[in-house]
Copies of this chain bind each other. A is one copy, B any other.
Amino acid sequence: MTSQSTINCIITGAGGFVGQALASALLEDPLVSKLTLTDVVEPSSPNRKGQSKVEVRCVKADLTSLETCQTLFTPDLNLIYILHGIMSGQAEANFELGLKVNLDSTRQILDLLRRTNPGVKVIYPSSTAVYGPPATPTTKITEGDTPVPGTSYGAQKHICETLLDDYSRRGFLDGRSLRLPTVTVRPGKPTGAASSFASGIFREPLNGEKAILPVSKDLEVWICSPRTVVKNLILARDIPKEKFPNTRIVNLPGITVTVNEMLEALKAVGGDEALKRVEEQRDEATEKIVLSWPTRFDVSRAKQLGFADDGPLERTLQEYLEDYGAKKQ
């Protein structure tokens, strides 16, 4: 531990996809001295790559409990990532659970922190799901466009951004709300999310398995690679708060791709063999949800703040194979 290692960080939802990827990166960060990983499912500490001397603590805890939060969010923490949550499909199917976890437990943590750790840096991943369909499919969305959430998940995310903005304006906390694109390629099993295919049509074929494509090949999506998202979650920590004059909310960079372009990238990396494993099987319900999401963004604000652009799809696929391929998840 060098003398600069002063960051004592907690990640909630650390057992999840983004949480694990972020933890992995923070383990190699010379500025970090302590890392608490917490999740309602026992989180594991990712393998260390380098000479990491970060002190890691894994805590299984349900953050809907106030007592649990009071124990976890100690005044010595100086960097908070609030990543736990109930994803869009499930929050739509189980409204009470989504409200309790996505809104109430996040609010509870913010209210606790403003008392015990006033001014602490809080990084919160919001989502482009705060937006409803754009005026026209080619309209590029900016932070100036109003969120009209089409799901309870999107509404809950937007409410938390609004709270964190107000708490930051008042100096209670030092928040940053980053609206992430759909993070692709996600390792592991297909999820219930309507966007699940955006990882599945890469992941399964590259693992030698069949994948279902439920939407038209002309359909567009707004995505970002896990490495770029993690990079930006860390950059958010280092951007001075003075750079956010009115709002801490930023639409993060991503790329707009059609399903056709995704399939081309799959072919380039996995060959014809991989491509043949994708089977078209249109599902109107899924297509309807995906079509309601905006897919084009003008991310000048993020670029001005210094956030990183996402790479081309083929690079993302190579990275996927490097980071997750061996594990054959």
Cβ–Cβ contact A147 & B149, under 8 A: no
Shortest CB-to-CB span from A57 to chain B, Å, is 32
Cβ–Cβ contact B145 & A166, under 8 A: no
A193 within 8 A of B: no
Shortest CB-to-CB span from A93 to chain B, Å, is 12
Q: Do A145 and B148 form a contact, CB below 8 Å, given A95-B170, A163-B159?
A: no
How many copies of this chain are found per oligomer? Answer: 2
Shortest CB-to-CB span from A85 to chain B, Å, is 16
The answer, among B135, B144, B146, B149, for a CB contact under 8 Å with A135, is B144
Cβ–Cβ contact A146 & B149, under 8 A: no
Residue of A148, A150, A170 with highest tally of chain B CB at under 10 A: A148
Shortest CB-to-CB span from A137 to chain B, Å, is 16
Q: Which of A95-152 contact B (CB under 8 A)?
A: 95, 132, 135, 143-150, 152
Residue of chain B at shortest CB distance from A104: B107
A162 within 8 A of B: yes
A155 within 8 A of B: yes
A24 within 8 A of B: no
Residue of chain B at shortest CB distance from A96: B111
Q: Do A165 and B170 form a contact, CB below 8 Å, given A132-B246, A135-B144, A144-B145?
A: no
Shortest CB-to-CB span from A51 to chain B, Å, is 44
Measured in the bound complex, the distance between the Cα atoms of B170 and A328 in whole Å is: 39
A88 within 8 A of B: no
A300 within 8 A of B: no
**Inside 8 A of A148's CB, which chain B residues have their CB?**
165, 246-247
- Hey, what's the 0/1 contact readout for A145-184 against B, CB within 8 Å counting as 1? 1111110100110110011011001100000000000000
Measured in the bound complex, the distance between the Cα atoms of B148 and A143 in whole Å is: 10
Cβ–Cβ contact A147 & B144, under 8 A: no
Cβ–Cβ contact B132 & A149, under 8 A: no
**Inside 8 A of A144's CB, which chain B residues have their CB?**
135, 145-146
Residue of chain B at shortest CB distance from A144: B146
Cβ–Cβ contact A152 & B135, under 8 A: no
Cβ–Cβ contact B170 & A149, under 8 A: no
**Inside 8 A of A152's CB, which chain B residues have their CB?**
166, 170
Q: A145-B145, A150-B169 are in contact. List 12 more A-B contacts (CB 8 A).
A: A95-B170, A135-B144, A148-B246, A149-B162, A149-B165, A152-B166, A152-B170, A155-B163, A155-B165, A155-B166, A156-B166, A162-B162
14 residue pairs of the A-B complex, CB under 8 angstroms, read A95-B170, A144-B145, A144-B146, A145-B145, A146-B147, A148-B165, A148-B247, A149-B165, A149-B166, A152-B166, A152-B170, A155-B165, A156-B166, A159-B162
CB-CB nearest 9 A-B residue pairs? A155-B166, A146-B146, A148-B247, A159-B159, A148-B246, A155-B162, A152-B166, A159-B162, A158-B162
